[in-house]
Structure 1
Amino acid sequence: MKKNFLITSPPGTGKTTAIKKFIDLTGGKFKVSGFITEEIRDQKGKRVGFKITTLDGKTGILADINLKNSPKVGKYGVNLKDIDNIAVPSINLNSDIIVIDEIGKMECFSKSFVQRVFEVLDSEKILVGTIKEKGDEIINKIKSRNDVELIKLTLENRDEIPFLIFQKVASLLDKVYPPHGEKTKSSN
């Protein structure tokens, strides 16, 4: 049974936007934890890094062009401290749905992040996230799992994808947590 839904596409296609729309669709009906990543831009609009924002409001730096003495991805230094202390703890196995945006090269420098991702994948919890389109051994191992559904995001389908994933997730959760006299979007 597929219970892990990972969006993949080239950079800049709208993966994070799709994840945010999915989170909005859950509307507090389910317990959701995890984090999203977004670009950091300077006053001139130039991208200088990426930030982590947890669904419970904590923020940190994922990567920055000025970060020294850290693993590098292109011109960005990866902030292992914030991955380990902000992103990883936000992945709460007591949630119904765990959101991870993104499983990529930067995040996978953290051994605790990789370990937590596999804990989620191996659990009964539902994972909704994004994953790098082209990856290394860890990313390819995740993408090849039988319980992972890869969803290719395109400019043409990006508005539909959050609803599609929500319907699949709500259907799975309704089987686990039957609604108490309430109708869900998936059962309408």
Structure 2
Amino acid sequence: MPTRILLEGRPGAGKTTAVRRLAAMLHDREITGFTTEEIRDGGTRVGFALETLTGRREVLAHTGFPGPPRIGRYGVDLGVMERLALPPLRVATAHSAAPGPGLLVIIDELGRMELACAAFRDTVSALFQADVDVVATVHVHRDPFTDALKGRTDVELVHLTPANRDSLPHDLIRRLQTA
């Protein structure tokens, strides 16, 4: 049975750092997916970039983007989701389990900007039905889509805090290696 872990934490708790460390430390696994990162200008957050685990990077949301959609003060470029985030996730949904450590999908994050893309929501739903391991970060806000994932019996919800963020990647590796 695949391992499905949702890392839940407040903004700035270290969710992205934790999944990046996890990806860097796992040498015996095929890993796919993406991370996100704040874009800052003079100490002020002005946007977010999306970066695949293969190094492709584009601006997902920015205060200078017109939208729609707009999430808070950010215009979101849903084309970035189509170009960068979705292709590796769609391949992963078709992946079949092989003996030994298989494919691990890392998604950072299942947040409002990413979930504004209907195709992304559909792909994530399919991914959680596929025979692959998934580690995804998720916001603490109430949201019908993420609340449904958090409520699944086959999903482990792990609360990430400043106190456990440094040890968490090591804990996740142990969980993924014994799965």
TM-score for both structures, normalised by structure 1: 0.86
Q: Is structure 2 residue 118 aligned with structure 1 residue 120?
A: no
Amino acid at match of 1:65: T
Q: Is structure 2 residue 169 aligned with structure 1 residue 166?
A: no
Mapped to 2, the partners of 1:2 and 1:124 lie a distance apart of: 6
Task: State the match for 1:178 in structure 2.
Answer: none
Larger radius of gyration: 1
Amino acid at match of 2:44: K
Residues 19-73 of structure 1: CA deviation (Å, up to 9, x unaligned): 011111102x11100000000111x121110000001111112211011031111
Amino acid at match of 1:126: D
Residues 75-129 of structure 1: CA deviation (Å, up to 9, x unaligned): 0111111011111113231361000000011111111111111111001100011
Mapped to 1, the partners of 2:176 and 2:125 lie a distance apart of: 19
Mapped to 2, the partners of 1:36 and 1:14 lie a distance apart of: 12
Does structure 2 conserve the Cα–Cα contact (< 8 Å) formed by 1:103 and 1:139? yes
Task: State the match for 1:16 in structure 2.
Answer: 16
Task: State the match for 2:30 in structure 1.
Answer: 31
Task: State the match for 1:66 in structure 2.
Answer: 64
Amino acid at match of 2:130: S
Task: State the match for 1:106 in structure 2.
Answer: 113
Does structure 2 conserve the Cα–Cα contact (< 8 Å) formed by 1:5 and 1:151? yes
Amino acid at match of 1:26: L
Residues 106-154 of structure 1: CA deviation (Å, up to 9, x unaligned): 1111111111111110011000110111131111111111111111011
Unaligned runs of 5+ in 1: 173-188
Amino acid at match of 2:35: I
Mapped to 2, the partners of 1:147 and 1:84 lie a distance apart of: 27
TM-score for both structures, normalised by structure 2: 0.91
**Secondary structure of 2:156's partner?**
strand
> Which structure 1 residue ranges, 4+ long, deviate > 6 Å from structure 2?
none
Percent identity among equivalent residues? 34
RCO comparison, higher one (Cα < 8 Å, 6+): 2
Amino acid at match of 1:58: R
Task: State the match for 1:87 in structure 2.
Answer: 85
**Secondary structure of 1:83's partner?**
helix
Amino acid at match of 2:34: F
Amino acid at match of 2:165: R
Q: Is structure 2 residue 141 aligned with structure 1 residue 134?
A: yes
Task: State the match for 1:144 in structure 2.
Answer: 151
Unaligned runs of 5+ in 2: 96-101
Paired residues in the alignment total 170
